[in-house]
């Protein structure tokens, strides 16, 4: 895989966002951003940062600070160390009994499905979840969103996840592929770039996108404490506008262009690998086309979390989502 795009062309592309005009004054406002992971799955966020979308909206983003875990990310934002966090939208449900200063509310969607893939030790061009019967699959830690999605898919295939399939939960994501390579294991549910690398090394075959199997659902979103949103609506609007611009740029540019742009955010990953990952994500349309978290998607995510024992109950859509900022962004920003 070869990237022949000159650096000057990348720079030009980064600022050639036709119709994406700034809506905030020139005085930049500082916003401290926290992300739960550093991942190519979040590519549109880095695109927005690298194309100057936040500056166009009058914001100076500090970060993103990577906290490496949901609990750490929640603590970071409710403590005031960060203003806005990027993580699974279900995290807002975990804080609903807290005070407004600590109760999180989603306002902008980034990813619209599970970003994992099913890796098999043998080619299976017609793979279905029923093929897991009698087999062993490794996945993320018990109670994690990927693991809950896997169990849900197994159930929907008519299988009993406790009897028909052996599920091995691996808490540390870096250990998923090594565990998959054990002779007793048949499949892995893993994220990128681990899958691209495993396929390139002839250690497995990509047989399915978990996102395609599960269907669209709000998987990663930006959120902030309810009190911060109430006190800073212009800031939240500007931030949402910038996120939308990042989504548009990602949607309208090639995997090679995106890879070259965000490569500085992933210095340990070869650009060719970044491009391959972006190409796979584009195939399955993993990124949201706009920043709106829709009621049906949130209901699906909440049901998954309740079934998995992560949340005690489903919360009303308007309690965990403020849709007004995404709706306004969609109305005012041209694609």
**pLDDT digits over 73-128, tens only?**
999 999 999 999 999 999 999 898 777 778 999 999 999 999 999 999 999 999 99
First to last CA, the chain: 29
The predicted structure's pLDDT at residue 28: 86
Q: Provide the whole-model pTM.
A: 0.90
Structure tokens at 317: 């859509």
Distance from the Cα of residue 252 to its chain's centroid: 18
Structure tokens at 172: 């540390």
Consecutive H or E run containing 30: strand 29-35
Q: Count the neighbouring beta carbons within 10 Å of the beta carbon of residue 165.
A: 21
**Is residue 181 a contact partner of residue 131, using CB atoms and an 8 Å limit?**
no
Structure tokens at 254: 């090639």
**Mean pLDDT, the chain, whole residue set:** 91
DSSP state for residue 152 in the 8-state scheme: H
Cis peptide before 253 (omega within 30 of 0): no
**Is residue 323 a contact partner of residue 293, using CB atoms and an 8 Å limit?**
yes
**Distance, CA of 180 to CA of 209 (rounded, Å):** 17
The predicted structure's pLDDT at residue 102: 86
Stretch 197-205: mean pLDDT, rounded?
A: 97
The predicted structure's pLDDT at residue 6: 37
Structure tokens at 144: 């994690």
**Distance, CA of 148 to CA of 154 (rounded, Å):** 10
């Amino acid at each position: 895989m070869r990237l022949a795009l000159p650096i000057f062309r990348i720079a030009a592309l980064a600022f050639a966002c036709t119709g994406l005009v700034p809506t905030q004054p020139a005085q930049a406002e500082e916003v401290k951003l926290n992300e739960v992971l550093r991942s190519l799955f979040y590519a549109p966020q880095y695109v927005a940062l690298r194309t100057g979308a936040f500056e166009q909206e009058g914001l100076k983003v500090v970060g993103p600070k990577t906290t490496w875990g949901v609990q750490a990310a929640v603590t970071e934002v409710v403590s005031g160390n960060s203003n806005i966090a990027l993580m699974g939208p279900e995290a807002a449900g975990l804080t609903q009994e807290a005070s407004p200063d600590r109760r999180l509310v989603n306002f902008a969607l980034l990813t619209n499905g599970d970003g994992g893939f099913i890796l098999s030790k043998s080619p299976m061009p017609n793979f279905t979840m029923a093929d897991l019967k009698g087999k062993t699959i490794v996945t993320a830690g018990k109670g994690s969103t990927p693991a809950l999605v896997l169990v849900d898919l197994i159930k929907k295939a008519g299988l009993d996840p406790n009897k028909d399939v052996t599920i091995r939960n691996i808490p540390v994501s870096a250990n998923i592929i090594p565990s998959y390579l054990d002779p007793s294991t048949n499949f892995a549910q893993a994220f990128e770039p681990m899958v691209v690398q495993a396929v390139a090394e002839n250690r497995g075959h990509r047989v399915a996108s978990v996102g395609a199997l599960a269907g669209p659902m709000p998987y990663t979103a930006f959120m902030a404490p309810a009190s911060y949103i109430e006190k800073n609506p212009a800031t939240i609007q500007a931030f949402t506008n910038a996120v939308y611009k990042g989504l548009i740029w990602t949607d309208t540019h090639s995997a090679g262009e995106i890879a070259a742009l965000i490569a500085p955010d992933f210095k340990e990953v070869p650009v060719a690998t970044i491009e391959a990952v972006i190409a796979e994500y584009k195939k399955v349309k993993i990124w949201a086309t706009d920043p709106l978290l829709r009621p049906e998607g949130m209901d699906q995510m909440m049901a998954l979390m309740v079934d998995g024992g992560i949340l005690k109950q489903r919360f009303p859509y308007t309690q965990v989502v403020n849709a007004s900022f995404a709706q306004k962004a969609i109305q005012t920003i041209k694609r």
